[in-house]
Amino acid sequence: MSLLRFLKSLRGRLITLTVVVEIVMISAILWNSQRLAEEHLIRQFELRRAETSSLLQAALAPAMAQRDYADISETLSSAQKLQGMTYLVMFDEDGQRVANVPLDNPRQLPAVDSGNEPIFQRQHLNTRIPIQLEGRNYGALQIGIDLRFLNEARREILLQNIILAIVGILLSTLVLAAIALWLTRRLSALSLASNDLAAGRPYKALNESTDDDIGVVAHAFNGMAAALERRMLDLGHSEAEQRALAETLATERGRLDALLSAMRLGLVFVAKDGRISYLNPAFLKLWTIAFEAQYIDQPVSALRQHLASGLSESAANQLFSGDGSLHEYLLPDGRTITEHSVPVTRTGGSESGHLWIFEDITGERQIAERLVFMAERDSLTTLANRARFDAELDRLLNQAGRDPRLFGALLYFDIDEFKTINDTFGHRAGDNVLIRTADTVSKLVRNNEIFARLGGDEFAIIAPNADQAGAQALAERLLSTVSGMRFDFDNRRLGLTISIGIALFPEHAETAEELVSRADAAMYQAKRGGKNGWRIYRPEHDQSEAMLAHLGWNEKIQAALKENRFVLHYQGVHSTSTGLASHYEALVRMVDPENTTELLLPGSFIPAAERTGRIVDVDRWVMRAAITKLAEMPALAALAINVSARSFDDPTLAGTIRSLLAEFHVEPRRLIVELTETSALANMQDSEQFIKEIRALGCTVCLDDFGVGFSSFAYLKHLSADVLKIDGMFIHNLPSSREDQVFVRAIVEVARGLGKKTVAEFVGDAETLKILTDIGVDYAQGFYLSRPIAEISLP
């Protein structure tokens, strides 16, 4: 079987064919060689016979002419010794025998051969040679030649040719077999590789080293096999990916089911035929539906009929209308639910149904109402805040611009020595003063007048239709009432005074900004006049006094920068979970030039620095000092610095911070840059760019005083801060104010949803800290936790 399989193979057929061809060719060559050898032997024999005949004739002719028979006999004897000569018989011209050598039976002389029979078929050759001399015939010589030597030579040649042919056949067979094996070896490798490839076994590339046809076939096969192998691998990978995808889809389906079940949004999916295919638990809870199964595969009209029982007729008609609009429904229990729908499409774009989304917005609506109130009110005193004040003043002045008959007054005042009260007795005492002052003054303000707290201890009253006399009378009442107030601090009874500036419109200004500036200038005129008084704006005093004030503070701040009389104090920012300080905030102080043992707090010189433009230089000093402190204390986790609104306009500020960090080899993540929300919103474009550059450096950005405006949440998508520091006005009365707790909780939830951390400042007691911890505020800062210190002591 193996031989038969070999003969059927390409290699066996090739070898067999080459051997047969070789045998045929060598046989033809052998036959031709033998034929040529025989012809050569015959020619040699005939040539030898002709030469012998010529010699014998030359030797015997003279002897026959002389009848010298003895010489003839001797010549014949000599000739008989030649190879193959069996006998020689000499006849005279009459045909008579005259001599012979030797003849066994002289009487039986063999007949002369006719010459028609092939020479190699004879054993003897009998021939006669005429003996002539000079044209005369003297007789004839009959010679007998033994042809066996010729046949033996022929046989030897034939034997040699056969041996050579056999050896040639064997050698050529071996050579051709080797060549065939060498040629078919690569074909066998190609066949084996094909079988491996077909069986899915690992494939080894064929040798392509030669440029012959087989090499071309091997190259093409390698390309085909590699492509097929890649496709098989791709198919395997695709199969694995399909399995993984199926597992992922199953997992995601489970997660989606869990997510939909955990969502607060109510979801209803209605198929294209108008039947309900899915209700999530939140929807059942929103509408107090007991069983989900009773509505699955039911028409949506059945669910509409159930939900419409507690709604008005118009609201019921809007349920599941599918018009894409947002609808609101007020339920009998007071809750407000919104509904809107979105079409659900397949991959090809065809619609497969609708998804209705329901949301209970009762809490959000209440918070929004609270936010609207807080957007216009000061959280500490409940007076109108700066935003409301600006809006009302702009509205009134715009009306006055259109109607010349309208006029009024602006009274601008602050509490004398309020900073001393705050620094001496603490923020809680200062807050008490502000609240009582606001309550007391509010009783003197008419319904058509606006009483606002502008910030700190600064207040303003907008008095429409008040002339100079009316404004003066109101100022006198304010002075008298406030001066009659008494406060008990640390067993000491203290009184208050205020300084009031009055500006009239349109007499002193036609724009809100100018009017506030005039009233502010008049207030400082009252302070310089001895405080506890009022002044009406006088332009000539404003110019000289303002220039002197600005120049004085400008020189003080410039001298402090030059003489390095600014210092940093540090207040800890603590983790609410551990109580430990996670980092510190750097607070700038100025050495009092009139008393070098005293430090001026920021409230004394920062406003003047902002008015004179020196705040940018102060910011840069703080940056360098804070980064130097970080370099000196590698174990200090982070340090926060405050950047003023003026610095946002400086396009080189981020580069300055980068250079300082590189100069002192401080990691950017250890520097926290704080900017107030109000200043950031006032310079939105510059703030966005500044925050982007600071975060690109790797520094953390903190938005300070967050929540002072109604639009705080909306602007978070523009101001990509990492930390939100909740404004202190929401923290002061946190234990007793449910509204403040709701707002702080809202800030924390929004911050957590956006991946931001929260910090609460002005934490003054343990109860406030506990509420903040329960709400989820990440960090807290205030006198209850730690006071500002001159040097940081790390554990």
Segment 271-291, tens digit of pLDDT: 888 888 888 888 888 888 876
Q: What percent of the chain has pLDDT over 90?
A: 26
What does DSSP assign to residue 147? T
Q: How far is CA 447 from the centre of its chain?
A: 62
pLDDT at 16 over 80: no
What span, in angstroms and rounded, lies between the C-alpha atoms of 36 and 29? 10
CA quadruple 194, 197, 201, 206: dihedral sign: positive
Rg of the Cα atoms in the chain: 64
Q: What letter represents residue 607's amino acid?
A: P
| pLDDT: which is higher, 479 or 239 | 479
Least confident of 302-306, 379-383, 477-481, 790-794: 302-306
pLDDT at 765 over 90: yes
Q: Whole-model pTM above 0.85?
A: no
Compute CA distances 217 → 196, 211, 212, whole Å: 17, 10, 9
Find out whether 49 and 145 touch, Cβ atoms under 8 Å. Answer: yes
Q: DSSP labels for 760-772?
A: E----SHHHHHHH
Per-residue pLDDT, averaged over 296-303, amounts to 84
Segment 720-754, tens digit of pLDDT: 889 999 988 889 899 999 889 998 999 999 889 88
Tokens (6 digits) for 427? 């923020």
Q: What letter represents residue 728's amino acid?
A: G
| pLDDT: which is higher, 499 or 120 | 499
Give the range with max mean pLDDT: 458-467, 545-554, 646-655, 701-710: 458-467
pLDDT number for residue 618: 92
pLDDT number for residue 226: 72
Q: What percent of the chain has pLDDT over 70?
A: 87
Q: Residue 589's pLDDT band (boundaries 50, 70, 90)?
A: very high
pLDDT number for residue 712: 58
Q: Residue 628's pLDDT band (boundaries 50, 70, 90)?
A: very high
Segment 346-381, tens digit of pLDDT: 777 677 888 888 888 888 777 767 776 777 888 888
Q: What letter represents residue 755's amino acid?
A: G
Per-residue pLDDT, averaged over 134-157, amounts to 81
pLDDT number for residue 415: 92
Average pLDDT of the chain?
Answer: 83
> Closest Cα to residue 56, out of 115, 138, 124?
138
pLDDT at 710 over 50: no
Asked if the bond preceding 506 is cis, omega within 30° of 0, the reply is yes
Helix (H) or strand (E) holding 146: strand 136-146
Contacts of 243 (CB under 8 A, 6+ apart): none
